[in-house]
Amino acid sequence: MKEIKLTDSEEVIMEILWEKEKVFMKEILESYPEPKPATTTVATLLKRMQNKDFVGYKLFGNSREYFPKIKKSDYFKEEMTSMIDRFFNSSVTQFASFFTTNTKLSQKQLKELREIIDKEIKE
């Protein structure tokens, strides 16, 4: 998969698309948190996102119904992989060490992580 990157503003729109699955411009604007951007700004962002192949649309008369072309889980996986590559020299072990020592996880959370890892090892 090619390296994909969304700007913060594009990610806000993608979150709306992932949540609603199909939306018209009016619904994007209604769902967008304050301060809401201008309609032209959202239209520009959507066009850029189409060019990046994140968003598609269907025409209904003069209106476009937008939909995501990438699953949230796929995007998140790419973002996490990119972050681990950039900040932890592609070492998941370094990432895990940093994550567990710097996020103030409770004993319960650490045990839950261990259970997830143990389950993955068994499979």
- CATH number, domain of 48, equals 1.10.10.10
pLDDT at 2 over 80: no
Structural domain ending residue among the three candidates 52, 68, 84: 68
Higher pLDDT, 49 or 116: 49
Evaluate whether residue 1 is within a structural domain: no
Could you give the number of structural domains in the chain?
A: 2
Higher pLDDT, 113 or 31: 31
pLDDT at 40 over 90: yes
Please state, in angstroms and as integers, the Cα–Cα distance from residue 8 to each residue in 5, 64, 116, following that order: 10, 23, 30
**pLDDT attached to residue 38:** 93
**pLDDT attached to residue 84:** 87
Contact 3, 75 (CB under 8 A): no
Instruction: Using CB atoms within 10 Å of the CB of residue 37, give its burial: 0 to 12 exposed, 13 to 18 middle, 19+ buried.
Output: middle
pLDDT at 5 over 70: yes
Residues 12 and 40 in one domain: yes
Average pLDDT over residues 79-84: 86
**pLDDT attached to residue 79:** 84
Residues 56 and 12 in one domain: yes
Q: Which structural domain, as residue segments, surrounds residue 97?
A: 72-122
**pLDDT attached to residue 1:** 43
Please report which confidence band the pLDDT of residue 57 belongs to, taking 50, 70 and 90 as the band edges: very high
Residues 59 and 12 in one domain: yes
What number of other Cβ atoms are within 10 A of residue 28's Cβ?
22
**pLDDT attached to residue 116:** 87
Please report which confidence band the pLDDT of residue 3 belongs to, taking 50, 70 and 90 as the band edges: low
Q: Which distant-in-sequence residues (6+ apart) come within 8 Å of 20 by Cβ?
A: 27, 31
Cα separation, 6 vs 18, whole angstroms: 14
Residues 77 and 96 in one domain: yes
The whole-chain average pLDDT of the chain stands at 89
